[in-house]
Chain A
């Protein structure tokens, strides 16, 4: 894998990450991420045929519980940290989604 991140790649990744970036950041990230990728690429030299991927370091049992209602945060508290909310209606407010 040729690990060179061009500015187009950076732009594409930023879009996927929902992150606005300036042209200066685009340039800087292209260089820094390329350096980091070239370093981490060493994992590709390891023979991992028949090796399972670890997603949980110690065990893989699911934690089950009965699906019973429990007390939760009151709506007013859940809304208290929102940048914009309608407390009376119990809603978060966001800019228009459809024009």
Chain B
């Protein structure tokens, strides 16, 4: 990553790029020019370039809070929410010299795969403005793809970093569950959510991951695991690395261009000295069902906090407390969020808990076991990130189940708590990006990043840029 001898001009340039791109892309939800420039001046005044991210402009998904910034999580209910504190990832980025320039647009409460569910309107894909950037971290992916910022943070509950990274032709990393603190992440599904970086290259993503990883006493789910120097592991040597491919999942439902790009990518991995073999993940076809049962159940509990009392919007003209709760939530939440709260509430309700929620948790165990078994014979699992390239905005907005099926290759890593990376691996005939995903054992981000980096160096995809850039 470039270091800037003078931070202010670099940040001013990023702010101006964002402003110019905003009408077409809508990648940012809010831009904090004053805060960013003030921060740049502080860095310049302090002198030196000590931090590993000195002067790097960063976009923050709109569901990660930073003191003084407005964080809406894509929801009307948080339209005016200004956080009194910063997420741990923000503190760590700033301590490394990074400058947060604004918040990037996302599906409401990160519930979606297209940004169609953002209450403020969707983000447009820089490769084709009529298409989705993917979701839910679509704003982060579009901002990086369009070159507005070198890095943005996203959150990944069922693929929300990796899928938009794939659809926008950038690198996206979902770390191991517990690797990165979620203190200050607006919660969606707490047994699945994880924060991670999106960047133009694996190396830049690794550099940011190194900064934001590590135990945080403020997040009881953050792990006491040593953080390796991820960038140091990017040595290009992937000889004898064993890659497993669950062929049985890559059916004819996957677009032909995606299948072709995936097979070509495996050839590249072989040419680099890795071996490729088939693995079985027999319960993975249950992944989407399990995911939507667990994620909605957890969401229904997490979103109970939006009650019109402590923060968030309150409906006008309410006369009783109960009325206030019900109408504030009715007016404040969008259709998809309501649907998920309803589904989650239903599967947790008396008489249905065992048949749906508990059953899903048990099948989750079986899915995780499949991965554990597969990782006895291979070091990485490779899959396409998304079964298709960017689809048109609005195309699936009226068919929630169809939208859910887009997560087929990404939910497994969340359910099993595993790290995953998406790296660009080609373009469709229409010049839309395609993503290749590597999944690793818990805490072995270094292995998967080494593979992604070696693959990236051996292929031309990083040099392809969207027409709007």
Contact = CB atoms under 8 A, between A and B. Distances in A.
Interface stretch (B258-266, B363-371, B387-395): B363-371
Contacts of B330: 19-21
A57 B286 contact: no
A20 B327 contact: yes
A46 B293 CA distance: 15
B289 A57 contact: no
B323 A95 contact: yes
A56 B417 CA distance: 8
Given A18-B304, A46-B366, A52-B365, A39 B289 contact: yes
B314 interface: yes
A81 B72 CA distance: 12
Interface of A is mostly: loop
A57 B176 CA distance: 10
B401 to A, nearest CB: 6
B368 A17 contact: no
A97 B307 CA distance: 14
B84 A78 contact: yes
A94 interface: yes
Interface string B349-362: 10010011011111
Interface in A29-73: 29, 32-33, 35-37, 39-44, 46, 48, 51-59, 62-63, 65, 73
Residue from B283, B307, B321, B359 whose CB has the most chain A CB atoms within 10 Å: B359
Given A18-B304, A19-B329, A53-B362, A40 B84 contact: no
B309 A82 contact: yes
Contacts of A77: 84
A54 B365 contact: yes
Nearest to A65: B217
B314 A19 contact: no
A36 B415 CA distance: 19
A19 B365 contact: no
A46 B363 contact: yes
A84 B314 CA distance: 9
B358 to A, nearest CB: 6
Contact of B342 (A17, A57, A92): A17
Contacts of A19: 326, 329-330, 333, 338, 341-342
B177 A17 contact: no
B191 A83 contact: no
A19 B87 CA distance: 29
B325 interface: yes
Interface residues on B, range: 35 or more
A53 B283 CA distance: 15
A36 B292 contact: yes
A31 to B, nearest CB: 11
A16 to B, nearest CB: 5
A36 B329 contact: no
Contacts of A40: 289-290, 292-293, 356, 360
A56 B189 CA distance: 11
A57 B313 contact: no
B401 A20 contact: no
A54 to B, nearest CB: 4
Contacts of B359: 43-44, 46, 48
B324 A58 contact: no
Contacts of B207: none
A63 B289 contact: no
Given A5-B346, A40-B293, A83-B314, A58 B308 contact: no
B188 to A, nearest CB: 15
Closest 10 CB pairs of A and B: A57-B417, A53-B361, A81-B311, A83-B314, A48-B362, A20-B330, A63-B220, A20-B326, A77-B84, A40-B289
Interface of B: 80-82, 84-85, 176-178, 191-192, 217, 220-221, 223, 283, 286, 288-290, 292-293, 300, 304, 307-314, 318-327, 329-330, 333, 338-339, 341-343, 345-346, 349, 352, 355-356, 358-366, 368, 400-401, 404, 414-417, 442
18 contacts: A1-B355, A16-B345, A36-B401, A37-B343, A40-B289, A43-B359, A44-B359, A48-B363, A54-B362, A54-B365, A56-B191, A80-B84, A81-B84, A83-B312, A83-B314, A94-B324, A95-B320, A95-B321
Given A18-B304, A29-B338, A36-B292, 11 more contacts: A10-B342, A13-B342, A39-B292, A43-B289, A43-B293, A46-B366, A54-B364, A82-B309, A83-B313, A92-B310, A95-B321
